[in-house]
Amino acid sequence: MTVEGIRETLASSQKRSFPFLMTEFGLDLVVHEGVFPPEEFGGWRWATENFLPVQGLDVLEIGCGFGLPGLHLARAGARSVTSVDINARAVANTIENAVRNNISNLKAVESDVFSNVRPKRQFDIIFWNFPSQFVPAGFEYENDLECGIIDAGYTLLRRFLSEGPDWLTNDGRIIMGFGSYARDDILSEIVRENRLEASILVKGAQQTRTATYRLLQIRKGHEQPRSRFSQSRALTERARGLYPAGVTRVSVGTVPIGKRNDGLSIYAHAGEGARIQDADGNSYVDFHSNFSTLIHGHRHPETVAAIASQLERGTCFGNPTVADIDLAQAICERIPAIERVRFLNSGTEAVMFAIKAARAMTNRTRLAKLEGAFHGTYDWAEVSARNCPENWGADFPNSNPPYSNTPPNVCEEVVVLPLNYTERSRTIIEQHRSDLACIIVDVLPCAAGMIPLNPDYLAMLQDTARQHGILLISDEVVCFRLGYHGASAARGLEPDLVTLGKVVGGGLPIGVVGGRSATMEAFAPQDSAPVPQGGTFSANALTMAAGRAALAALTVSEIERIDELGNYLRQQAEESASQAGIAITVQGAGSLFRFHAKQARPLSYREAYHDVAESEALRRLHAGMLERGFYVAAPFWGSISTSMTKLHVDDFLDAFRACLCEIPDLKRLDGRTAT
């Protein structure tokens, strides 16, 4: 909007009859002439509705207007609210509304941002619902109203974010409300200049308006490097006396801290948004997200609220609940291939029951899977998940056992397909067509290198399966996030069964097997014994409530936004490695990424396999990123959560570039080592 347009809007807003009376959030409010106009109240209403809990906290509100959301926060349990405004009439208006509503824990002060706030006062939350339109530096204000809505040269924002952290408690945060008109690039620049950390708390729109609103959380940055691990070391020692190998799941084993892997597990203490804190107080941007589970980051407000609400009524029952019906309906409405579902407790269980259902429906026993693909810890699903050059065979992959003394019939029942080799795989399927109950496929198999499956390869799998009465299972435990309607729909696949987990549980244990009604009859046939499926905690009310909230928040726009960040991360990381002459490439899709110590992107599992030197290079890169405050999954993969912004990705890339310069183990493209 032009300056003339802003001034015309402000002038028009003051032509109404004053005082103006209204009721909002149970508050009896009056608005006087010369105060920020009620016509622009949409953003304030949305910010008030979506604000985080403030019970027992000290809040500083910048720009009080006629009193919202400050009065609402004061009534909602804040210990104190200090509201400031450069407009003296707005301050008087807020004080009047506090008196009208018998609110005594709010104080309004005339102040230019922090000028008249009591010295050395510290706050748990500093809030500014930033309504400003931005104009070039040197702009001259005509009245107080313009001071509240026009920011010349981002001067106010720069001052606010440079001085604001000094007014925060150690755990305090700045909350800023922004409309869709805000310049994210300039905001990011200012945040980085002041060594702050920003993440999106919540995003949405007022029902009667088209504008998008966001609440951003901004905190003080953390010092580097992270080198204090005394508590994690002590906990690691305790664990060694309790768990085999010192861990209770192999996937969260020791991490490479320092120049060697000294057997240390980093113990988590807490998480919020895009960050986690370990037992020693070190803070990390969490690109791990519990193996991509936490797509909304830690302590996602809507998910936490859903869990808390259900917790008041109970955790688990020997009965169904409305919560499981709600989540089942949401999944069926969202994923075209799913008309019926069964809930389980893990992705492993989901795959296990999908395979059982396929066997029951086809009267066949064998299954086909891709070499190197991981589908959980079910014997048949694990076959050849860890193939290596010593045992993988030539053109036609061997079926290798997942652990010592695996029953021989397990490997005999599994046919292994070479990833992305269309004709070889077709030949293998044709050879075993009369015995195959199912083909299980992940369109972006993480353990196999997070290599996108070629469209012609996927089409071959689907066509060949249909031709021979073989059921096609789409394993979307990890890759569901690739599209609003799921990964199979995003890739044009029409599977008979779909398995889900991770994201759809909202951070709590879940597994889902779903499919067409006819296929799901395997669990409740009319003329034969069903596939028995149960579980004490299957469809437990807490998980169902959390999953429904997480799924509702995973909108088309949010998926598109984090996909863009993922594309940006992969592209920029590869460009940086190439410019540095380092053999690093990045595979993945959407909001998922996996780094490879390769000169070119691998296109098959065998191309993605890392030798000893390549594995060591990734281990050192992993260590370097940990020490710089970025947490990823080993050997080096991660995901973008909706709590992240471009700031997080830019900081990640800066740390990655520093690693390229400082880690001697990373190989040069011409085979020399970095110096």
Coil vs helix vs strand at 583:
coil
Instruction: Give residue 263's identity as a one-letter amino acid code.
Output: G
- Angle ∠(594,570,447) on CA atoms, nearest 5: 15
Confidence at residue 668, expressed as pLDDT on a 0 to 100 scale: 52
User: What is the distance between the alpha carbons of residues 438 and 338, in angstroms, rounded to a whole number?
Assistant: 17
pLDDT exceeds cutoff 80 at 664: no
* 592-596 β-sheet, strand order: 585-589, 592-596, 637-639
Coil vs helix vs strand at 386:
coil
Specify the DSSP element, H or E, that contains 456.
helix 455-467
Any idea which residue has 């729109």 for tokens?
205
Instruction: Give residue 416's identity as a one-letter amino acid code.
Output: V
Handedness of CA 168, 171, 177, 181 (dihedral sign): positive
* For range 405-417, the mean pLDDT: 95
Confidence at residue 52, expressed as pLDDT on a 0 to 100 scale: 84
Last residue of a domain, one of 220, 245, 268: 220
User: What is the distance between the alpha carbons of residues 633 and 639, in angstroms, rounded to a whole number?
Assistant: 9
User: What is the distance between the alpha carbons of residues 38 and 40, in angstroms, rounded to a whole number?
Assistant: 5
177 in the same domain as 243 = no
Confidence at residue 526, expressed as pLDDT on a 0 to 100 scale: 72
Q: Which two tokens stand for residue 45?
A: 């209403």
Q: What is the largest CA-CA distance in the chain?
A: 86
15 in the same domain as 141 = yes
Q: Are the C-beta atoms of residues 543 and 498 closer than 8 Å to each other?
A: no
Q: Are the C-beta atoms of residues 383 and 411 closer than 8 Å to each other?
A: yes
Q: Which two tokens stand for residue 597?
A: 């110590």
243 in the same domain as 207 = no
* Range with lowest mean pLDDT among 20-34, 143-157, 214-228, 577-591: 143-157
Closest CA to 294 of 507, 446, 481: 507
395 in the same domain as 463 = yes
User: What is the distance between the alpha carbons of residues 485 and 169, in angstroms, rounded to a whole number?
Assistant: 43
pLDDT, one tens digit per residue, over 66-75 is 898 999 999 9
380 in the same domain as 526 = yes
What CATH number corresponds to the domain at position 339? 3.40.640.10
* Range with lowest mean pLDDT among 51-55, 130-134, 196-200: 130-134
360 in the same domain as 448 = yes
Last residue of a domain, one of 531, 549, 571: 531
Handedness of CA 60, 66, 69, 71 (dihedral sign): positive
pLDDT exceeds cutoff 90 at 13: no
* For range 405-425, the mean pLDDT: 96
Confidence at residue 202, expressed as pLDDT on a 0 to 100 scale: 79
Expressed as residue numbers, the domain containing 31 is 3-220
Q: Between 289 and 667, name the one with better pLDDT.
A: 289
- 24 falls within a domain: yes
Q: At what angle do helices 455-467 and 422-431 cross, to 10 degrees?
A: 10
Q: Which two tokens stand for residue 452?
A: 């996108």
Taking CA atoms, 385 is separated from 174, 424, 449, in Å, by 46, 19, 11
pTM for the complete prediction? 0.75
617 in the same domain as 494 = no
Confidence at residue 154, expressed as pLDDT on a 0 to 100 scale: 66
* For range 571-586, the mean pLDDT: 95
pLDDT, one tens digit per residue, over 335-363 is 999 999 999 999 999 999 999 999 999 99
Handedness of CA 463, 468, 471, 477 (dihedral sign): negative
Residues belonging to the chain:
675
- 565 falls within a domain: no
353 in the same domain as 285 = no
pLDDT, one tens digit per residue, over 287-305 is 999 999 999 999 999 999 9
- 552 falls within a domain: no
The two counts, helices (H) then strands (E), for the chain are 23, 25
pLDDT exceeds cutoff 60 at 223: no
Q: Cα-flanking dihedrals φ and ψ of residue 339, to 5°?
A: -110, -25
Per-residue confidence at 307, pLDDT binned at 50, 70, 90?
A: very high
Coil vs helix vs strand at 283:
strand
pLDDT exceeds cutoff 70 at 383: yes
What CATH number corresponds to the domain at position 30? 3.40.50.150
* For range 311-324, the mean pLDDT: 96
Confidence at residue 153, expressed as pLDDT on a 0 to 100 scale: 54
Q: Cα-flanking dihedrals φ and ψ of residue 612, to 5°?
A: -60, -45
pLDDT-above-90 percentage for the chain: 62
pLDDT-above-70 percentage for the chain: 86
Domain count, the chain: 3
Coil vs helix vs strand at 19:
coil
pLDDT, one tens digit per residue, over 644-655 is 988 889 999 999
Q: Between 612 and 287, name the one with better pLDDT.
A: 287
Instruction: Give residue 249's identity as a one-letter amino acid code.
Output: R
pLDDT, one tens digit per residue, over 418-470 is 999 999 999 999 999 999 999 999 999 999 999 999 999 999 999 999 999 99
Q: Which two tokens stand for residue 640?
A: 């973008």
Per-residue confidence at 616, pLDDT binned at 50, 70, 90?
A: confident
Confidence at residue 210, expressed as pLDDT on a 0 to 100 scale: 58
Contacts of 20 (CB under 8 A, 6+ apart): 30, 31, 32, 38
User: What is the distance between the alpha carbons of residues 261 and 248, in angstroms, rounded to a whole number?
Assistant: 19
* Range with lowest mean pLDDT among 218-222, 362-366, 438-442, 638-642: 218-222
486 in the same domain as 454 = yes
Confidence at residue 420, expressed as pLDDT on a 0 to 100 scale: 97
User: What is the distance between the alpha carbons of residues 82 and 98, in angstroms, rounded to a whole number?
Assistant: 12
pLDDT exceeds cutoff 70 at 280: yes
Closest CA to 584 of 630, 629, 620: 620
pLDDT exceeds cutoff 70 at 373: yes
Confidence at residue 260, expressed as pLDDT on a 0 to 100 scale: 41
Confidence at residue 7, expressed as pLDDT on a 0 to 100 scale: 64
* Range with lowest mean pLDDT among 108-112, 140-144, 158-162, 298-302: 140-144
251 in the same domain as 191 = no
User: What is the distance between the alpha carbons of residues 567 and 593, in angstroms, rounded to a whole number?
Assistant: 9
User: What is the distance between the alpha carbons of residues 179 and 211, in angstroms, rounded to a whole number?
Assistant: 7
241 in the same domain as 187 = no
pLDDT exceeds cutoff 60 at 406: yes
Taking CA atoms, 637 is separated from 215, 396, 473, 584, in Å, by 29, 28, 24, 13
Taking CA atoms, 173 is separated from 126, 198, 199, 367, 421, in Å, by 7, 10, 11, 52, 52
- 540 falls within a domain: no
pLDDT exceeds cutoff 50 at 671: no
* For range 171-197, the mean pLDDT: 78
For the chain, the average pLDDT equals: 88
Confidence at residue 37, expressed as pLDDT on a 0 to 100 scale: 61
Confidence at residue 145, expressed as pLDDT on a 0 to 100 scale: 56
* For range 106-115, the mean pLDDT: 90
